Chain A
Amino acid sequence: MSATPQQRFETLLGALRDTLQVGEQFTLGYSAEQSQFIRFNHALVRQAGEVSQASVQLRLMRDGRQAEQQITLGDDAVLDRTRLADALSQLRQTLPLLPVDPYLRLDDTPWHSHSQQDHPLPELDEVLALIEREAGDLDLVGIYAAGPICRGFANSFGAFGWHQANSFNMDWSLFHSNGQAVKANYAGQVWHADDFTARLRQAREQLAFLGRPAITLKPGSYRAYLAPAAMDEIAGMLCWGGFSAQALATGNSALQRLYNGDARLSPLVSFDEQVSGSLSPAFSDEGSPRLDVPLITQGQAVQRLISARSAAEFALQANGADSYESPCALSLAPGNLASEAILERLGTGLYISNLWYLNYSDLPAARMTGLTRFATFWVENGEIQGPVSTMRFDDSLYSLLGNQLEDLTREREMILSTSTYGQRSTGSSHLPGALVKGLTLTL
């Protein structure tokens, strides 16, 4: 019987401990996944494959110096021990070449964390049959990604963390023959065919609205409702250094003025890093237990995300952030707008299901630009009139989530990241929709 991923990690950990020399300290991170990736186009399989991968990231410290090496593991215990020994050897040779690192700080608490869930995933045949049955007559395009994900961490101070979960993420769009599309997603750890079918049917129903003649808007300010998926794009921009202690200390955060106290958001806005209850590991890549951190409360900056390195550099207290100081489970508190009242409260304006390709047009002003994408509708007197051709917005966060924010929805969506760059992401966000009095469209 082959070793489990946790056993493989522990074996490597034991080998590393056995070869550690006096004065050396280490951290060892582990990341592995077995993934099915099935791409669809026109509701048929465009590309199908399986990926089995595992790697460890070894950080060696001695005499105030540190260096890191990541190695891919080959699923061969002897070979993997050799690779780890080679990495250790290279790091040992490197350390004397480095100056003392004044920002080297270690979490030396011997914390323990263990989370493992083994909910069965659906058979691929079942997924393919469901898609054929429910969407065989539709132009469906997207990806099904599924399989176990493992993250581990240990260090020479005795800390040990293990996170293992089976998960799936079916992310798809349905295209109308006129080129308009609706996007949908079904993701999680426990697969229910009925839930997936319901999501598919809901998306199919939305297609009917997309068949109406497209409406082209002129640049200007429009009343708008931003659905949770659209809010996720805005939140994603804030995750890009917005809450980072380093970025805030060095003029590179879009929320500089908020954290300086020179600007504020609407009292309706409260952002938290809400790790507990999320699907993310309970420990950071740096090897600290992650904490729930209030970031913005009632429109005012509260805390920032502080890695151990930033804590040392800027004389702050670390709070379990990853080295990139980006939220992994951003949560925006709900408001009072009931989902069934969205169109009525919007009245006349834009219903925006998704935004796309955001970037900053003026970072210190938190001014961002991006585009509508997928199922954006023009609404008059609470009635959907038809889809809107792609429009660009360019507006400040201090406006959208500041004086222009009218309400947030009472219901929120848990949005699981679809990112598969390098590996499948465990990130998520928990967000309401937002009703804004004015969104500036420019092109």
Chain B
Amino acid sequence: MFDSSALLRQRFAALRSTAELFSLRHVKQSHQALSVRRNVAEPPFFSQDEGAMLTVRVNGVEAYAATADLSQHGLQQALERAEALARQIAGHSLLDLREQPVTSARHDHVSPHFDQPLPSLADCLGLLAAESASVPKDSRLVDWQAGLGMSVVEQTYLNSAGAELRHAQRFLFPGLSVTASDGQDSQSRSLGRDNFGQQGGFEIVERCGLISAASRVADEALQLLLAPNTPSGPHDLLLMPDQMMLQIHESIGHPLEMDRILGDERNYAGTSFVKASDFGHLQYGSALLNVTFDPTIGEELASYSYDDDGTQASKQFLIRDGLLLRPLGGALSQFRSGLDGVANSRACGWNRAPIDRMANLNIEPGDRSLAQLVKGIEHGILMRTNRSWSIDDARNKFQFGCEWGQLIENGELKGVVKNPNYRGISAQFWRNLSAVGDRSTFQVLGTPNCGKGEPNQVVRVGHASPACVFRQIDVFGGDA
């Protein structure tokens, strides 16, 4: 771990610049993707990536240059290119950062069980092959896949004010999916995949429930193929954590990103229905809604001690008792807006600059068991596992679809329904939150696929949530 540190320190110390501030962010990432599809092992894929971003501040104007040439000469050249660029854009710059505070913190952060050895590649492939092989033989089961992704990231941030911040993280993404088709309709059921990523060791695979799950997942896909469509009309909606994460992500996370509110993302990711003046005033949801930025849950995907700009991370309520309190805004957004934010300035790698991102964005547990949540619904639908997501550029009008639906009548779970979709408006939806599950319903989930920014970046974000009930939501099924 941190094998490059001594050399990086030495080279950073030897860099020469006339800038008032400069920094180096070195990122080394490795990735391994294993998959068995329809009982055939797909070619394993490995990657090794390493490079550094040099950022300078010249008379309050910042610019960067990213390079994979980590020699003294390569780093010095990148620094000089960044400096030249900062001078070139000086007359056109939106921001004057001369007064922005600079970190000088020094800290190491390491994922839980980072050094715990993982099973061999052959053992991992064996596990995936066993899951694949346990999918029942049924001509309607046309596709299935068991996979395991593993990433290791080491990052070192150094700046000319003396900061040295390092983190070493390991991420696992176990997953399984099965598709059933009758030639006209197709229905898929999945477990894990892009919504069950965590930091840590192989215990994540067990926690995900992947082992011995294939036959159940296949059976659920077949049930969906035979199920009637989801009925249309207003229903109470019980969302399980693997759909709640998407709901949180799209209709709380993105609208609260401060760079969107400041207009940076209007050409691509979009803007927000939330205004800077709403913080401290807007009743975002019902009094049951408590949303936190929480980097302290060790296994959650975006737990860290400092963000990529060197701001110390701590748990903060963004929404408490339904009242909107603070945005997802890192140090720069806080400087620009004058609002308190969180440590969420993040980059996807060495070749992209940090911007405001979601990290771990969670809903705090309530006081109802799952049985109590179901019992409290007279006429509703349970939905789990996101499969479709769409929301407007202000993150207000949304439509989401799930893999699995189940009717609830008079406080009891009833039959399975397919193509469960629902739509709503963020600004109103959270006010219909009528019950929040307790810790027994709470799950720590996360996705590696949050896209945003120009140039584009994909980062890992964590979402932990209990099951939740929403009153009178517009639900509907599909055409088939």
Query: Which residues of chain A have a CB within 8 Å of any CB of chain B?
Result: 35, 37-42, 44-55, 59, 66-76, 83, 87, 90-91, 94, 97-99, 101-104, 124-125, 128, 131-132, 139, 141-143, 145, 171-173, 175, 179, 181, 183, 249-252, 256-257, 260, 262, 313, 356-365, 367, 369-371, 373, 390, 392, 394, 396, 418-421, 424, 442-443
Interface residues of B in 11-32 (CB under 8 A from A): none
Name A143's contact: one of B186, B267, B399 (CB within 8 Å): B267
The reply to whether A390 and B394 contact each other, CB–CB distance below 8 Å, is yes
The reply to whether B51 and A72 contact each other, CB–CB distance below 8 Å, is yes
The reply to whether A362 and B47 contact each other, CB–CB distance below 8 Å, is no
Chain A residue nearest to B70 (CB atoms) is A74
Name the A residues within 8 Å of B385 (CB-CB).
none
The reply to whether B94 and A70 contact each other, CB–CB distance below 8 Å, is no
The reply to whether A48 and B63 contact each other, CB–CB distance below 8 Å, is yes
Q: Please judge, given known A-B contacts A69-B47, A72-B51, whether A46 and B74 are in contact too, CB under 8 Å.
A: no
Count of B interface residues, CB-CB < 8 Å? 86
Judge if B50 is at the interface, Cβ distance under 8 Å.
Answer: yes
The reply to whether A39 and B264 contact each other, CB–CB distance below 8 Å, is yes
The reply to whether B451 and A125 contact each other, CB–CB distance below 8 Å, is no
Name the B residues within 8 Å of A363 (CB-CB).
186
Chain A residue nearest to B81 (CB atoms) is A50
The reply to whether A443 and B454 contact each other, CB–CB distance below 8 Å, is no
The reply to whether A53 and B68 contact each other, CB–CB distance below 8 Å, is yes
- Chain B CB within 10 Å, residue with most, of A52, A392, A396: A52
Name the A residues within 8 Å of B270 (CB-CB).
356, 373
Q: How far is the CA of A376 from the CA of B69 in the complex (A)?
A: 46
Give how many A-B residue pairs fall within 8 Å (CB-CB). Answer: 257
Judge if B331 is at the interface, Cβ distance under 8 Å.
Answer: no
Rounded to whole Å, the gap between the CB of B277 and the closest CB of chain A is 15
Chain B residue nearest to A49 (CB atoms) is B64
Name the B residues within 8 Å of A370 (CB-CB).
390
Q: How far is the CA of A85 from the CA of B47 in the complex (A)?
A: 14
The reply to whether A44 and B94 contact each other, CB–CB distance below 8 Å, is yes
Chain A residue nearest to B36 (CB atoms) is A99
Q: How far is the CA of A253 from the CA of B46 in the complex (A)?
A: 28
Given A172-B267, A362-B419, A421-B457, 18 other A-B residues pairs in contact with their CB atoms under 8 A? A41-B94, A41-B264, A44-B93, A48-B85, A51-B351, A54-B68, A76-B74, A97-B121, A97-B125, A104-B43, A128-B92, A143-B267, A179-B271, A250-B142, A361-B399, A369-B390, A369-B399, A371-B393
Name the B residues within 8 Å of A76 (CB-CB).
69, 71, 74
The reply to whether B68 and A52 contact each other, CB–CB distance below 8 Å, is yes
Rounded to whole Å, the gap between the CB of B371 and the closest CB of chain A is 31
Interface residues of B in 386-425 (CB under 8 A from A): 388-394, 396-397, 399, 401, 419, 421, 423, 425
- Chain B CB within 10 Å, residue with most, of A104, A262, A359: A359
Q: Encode B179-218 as 1/0 by CB contact (under 8 A) with A.
A: 1110111101000000000000000000000000000000
The reply to whether A396 and B95 contact each other, CB–CB distance below 8 Å, is no
